[in-house]
Amino acid sequence: MQLYFDGIKDHDTNEPMTPDTEYRFPGAPDDEEMGWKGMTQDDWFIVGFSGGLVDRTGDDLVIRLYSGPNSGADVLASSDGENYTKIGVLGPQPGSVPGQPHSHDFRYESFDFADLFADPVYFVKVQRTANGQQTGMFFDAFGSEAPAPVPVPSSILLLAPTLMALGTVRRKRRKHVG
């Protein structure tokens, strides 16, 4: 993956990123994010995919992020890095309230290329559309699919009734002793 940017600041230092900045992003979800928290509209960055993302049935792009209650950004995609097509928008963090501290809980946003591209998509551009207080957006990962939820083993589901039964037996024994 490659990363290009304009006006993006490092989350830890709040300093503008340069081509020499060490990026913790993009990659697999790891809670190491980058993004913008300043007050400037029209900041943007481009993520380049060396293998390309293909248009398939259902969602083709998944972004992991968190954002402020007044945030907004357009998501655009391109096969050639020159001509971009808008594929959707990123809005405020669900459940967030303007004027209140926002959650740092990551969420996944999915996008379908919907037959817009004949060739694989090699570039995804995120362009900020909101500015002002609480418009920050922080990105952790870009990919072609969200990780599958971790299944709960059936043995754990069977453990709960067993523990409840043992607790009942123990209580009955205490009543007989006391």
Q: What domain range includes position 131? A: 2-177
pTM attached to this predicted model: 0.70
CATH number of domain containing 169: 2.60.120.260
Which residues, other chains included, contact 162 with Cβ-Cβ below 8 Å and sequence gap of 6+? none
pLDDT class for 1, splitting at 50, 70, 90?
A: very low
The domain tally of the chain equals 1
For residue 39, what are the contacts with CB-CB under 8 A and spacing of at least 6?
131, 132, 133, 135
Contact (CB, 8 A) for 40 and 33? no
pLDDT tens for each residue of 119-132: 999 999 999 898 88
Cα distance between residue 138 and residue 14, in whole Å: 12
Cα angle, residue 103 at apex, residues 35 and 136 outer, rounded to 5°: 30
Q: Return d(Cα 61, Cα 63) in angstroms, integer.
A: 7
